[in-house]
């Protein structure tokens, strides 16, 4: 059992997400921070990892001995007032407070739990989507201060063999870290790209973008100085993870893991999941550019990205 004593922002309970659920009109959900999630899974040596996605200072009390890991960019992590390393297996004993603080603005982290679920699955996942009223802490709700999440710990120490060289490689952030001044976010033009004017395509890549304060797991709403003109609204269509919608106001929306399954706004491209995880870490005060790449280059980048975990 995990008790949330304090959190600045709602905490989302995630696992690998829902496979093929879109056929039933249910969002796939799953981790927004794909890289950190799979690194946590590797650290704890557990498939179908249960994890918490956090985006601010928080404190937990874990009521049973449990192996955990905290993965992502730098933050201060302490167990029972003792600072501990990130991206490595950590043992929390009953009654010991787990505190995470001093995250950089916009930074999100994954807390992996070596545990079995004691809650109901929906479409073979415990991910909470409040819009659909299932999963999460209860009825799709994220975790907030005072909430309790029930899991059964697997008290089995993660091990990496007798040879020290078999140890987990520390989480690598250099390739996908976000510059303090600007960053380039890859996107691949999709099947509606040709329907946009040359001017619209120019505006997408040549002007800076910002992540709006309204961005969430459903969609990362962006802000640009000159709105992007879009062709006439289309009939409702299926929406993939990372699709860039252009609504009537010309401010792009990048679809996240908790997106609706279909929509009618024109779509100009798709952000690959490795770049979507990068985009999710950009603070609202920073600027970035979209970087157009081919699908072949996206596959190469994804392969390099996967090799890091």
Rounded percentage of the chain residues whose pLDDT exceeds 70: 88
Query: For the chain, what are the domain ranges?
Result: 2-166, 184-307
CATH for 184-307, options being 1.10.3720.10, 2.40.100.10, 3.10.180.10, 3.40.640.10: 2.40.100.10
Q: Look up tokens 């479409």; give the residue.
A: 123
Cβ contacts of 247 within 8 Å, gap of 6 or more: 230, 253, 265
Q: How does pLDDT run across 261-285, given as a tens digit for each residue?
A: 788 899 999 999 889 988 988 888 7
Query: pLDDT higher for 300 or 124?
Result: 300
Residue 260 has pLDDT above 90, yes or no: no
**Rounded CA Rg of the chain:** 20
Question: What is the rounded CA–CA span in Å between residue 193 and residue 3?
Answer: 47
Which pLDDT tens digit goes with each residue over 110-130? 999 988 766 677 787 888 887
Residues 6+ apart with CB under 8 A from 193: 201, 268, 269
Q: Which two tokens stand for residue 191?
A: 């099947």
d(CA 109, CA 106): 10
Q: What is the value of pTM for the model shown?
A: 0.83
Measured in residues, the chain has a length of 309
């Amino acid at each position: 059992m995990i008790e949330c004593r304090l959190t600045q922002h709602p905490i989302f309970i995630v696992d690998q997400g829902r496979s093929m659920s879109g056929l039933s009109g249910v969002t796939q959900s799953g981790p927004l921070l794909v890289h950190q999630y799979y690194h946590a899974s590797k650290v704890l040596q557990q498939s179908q990892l249960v994890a918490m996605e956090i985006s601010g200072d928080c404190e937990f009390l874990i009521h049973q001995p449990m192996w955990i890991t905290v993965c992502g960019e730098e933050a201060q992590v302490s167990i029972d007032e003792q600072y501990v390393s990130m991206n490595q297996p950590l043992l929390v004993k009953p009654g010991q407070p787990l505190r995470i603080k001093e995250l950089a603005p916009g930074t999100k982290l994954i807390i992996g739990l070596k545990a079995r679920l004691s809650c109901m699955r929906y479409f073979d996942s415990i991910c909470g989507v409040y819009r659909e009223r299932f999963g999460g802490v209860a009825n799709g709700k994220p975790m907030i201060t005072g909430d309790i999440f029930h899991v059964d710990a697997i008290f089995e120490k993660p091990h990496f063999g007798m040879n020290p060289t078999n140890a987990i490689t520390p989480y690598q952030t250099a390739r996908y870290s976000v510059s303090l001044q600007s960053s380039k976010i890859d996107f691949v033009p999709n099947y509606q790209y040709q329907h946009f004017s040359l001017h619209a395509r120019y505006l997408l890549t040549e002007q800076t973008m910002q992540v709006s304060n309204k961005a969430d797991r459903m969609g990362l709403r962006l802000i640009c100085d000159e709105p992007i003109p879009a062709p006439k609204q289309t009939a409702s269509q299926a929406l993939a993870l990372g699709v860039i919608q252009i609504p009537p106001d010309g401010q792009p929306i990048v679809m996240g893991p908790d997106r609706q399954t279909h929509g009618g706004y024109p779509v100009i491209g798709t952000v690959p999941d490795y770049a979507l995880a990068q985009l999710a870490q950009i603070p609202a005060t920073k600027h970035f550019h979209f970087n157009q790449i081919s699908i072949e280059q996206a596959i190469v980048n994804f392969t390099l990205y996967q090799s890091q975990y």
